[in-house]
Chain A
């Protein structure tokens, strides 16, 4: 049982490049979300999904797109990378809509935009 798997673990991008951060879970969780973690800021919600075909914006969605075509996968796309998007990105999943349940986190993707 792998849990939540994120790829890649590390990535360096040039300003203006695009890329997709992959996230997959094998727990049949309906709720999936993406966070970014910056020093001194805790984790901030970027986008979330309550099921296949349903996504919505979180606290800091600008510059990111998501889609949810299957229950298992929730990729995060950076459209045109900027240095301000240098961060550690975490994908998480929860059972159902997540209320009163714990979130399971991936190991993170450390992204540097130069």
Chain B
């Protein structure tokens, strides 16, 4: 079952603009993670936000988490052509002693030069 629902499915913006992607989920979580996938490559971890955190920054990335609304957003500021990729949220729950990640369907981001 898919836990994370991402919105939008595709986003195309001009270089230098900000990109915002949203993720909604259904059940309680331990943390929420964002990953990037370049075409034909594996996923690369971007940022992890724990369930007791509301906002986190890493370079040009800003992640928010609202557990009351069961939603998260990823903001990429001052976008670059190299940011073109698919972005996935993954909700994490501890089940039977191990962290289980459930991924959303992803947002395909295109940065136009």
Interface residues of A (CB under 8 A from B): 4, 31, 33, 35, 40-45, 48, 50, 56, 58-59, 90, 92, 94, 97-108
Apart from the given pairs A50-B98, A97-B94, A108-B42, 16 other A-B contacts in the complex at a CB distance below 8 Å: A31-B98, A42-B2, A42-B88, A43-B88, A56-B96, A98-B99, A99-B94, A102-B48, A103-B101, A104-B45, A105-B35, A105-B42, A105-B44, A107-B41, A107-B42, A108-B40
- Give the interface centre of B44, B100, B101 by most chain A CB atoms within 10 Å: B101
A40 to chain B, nearest CB (A): 6
Contact B33 A102 (CB under 8 A): yes
Q: Which residues of A contact B20 (CB under 8 A)?
A: none
Q: Which secondary structure characterizes the binding site on chain B?
A: strand
CB distance from A91 to the nearest CB of B (A): 9
> Could you pull out 10 A-B pairs where Cβ atoms are within 8 angstroms?
A4-B42, A35-B103, A42-B4, A43-B90, A45-B101, A56-B98, A97-B98, A97-B99, A102-B33, A107-B41
Min C-beta distance of A42 to chain B, whole Å? 4
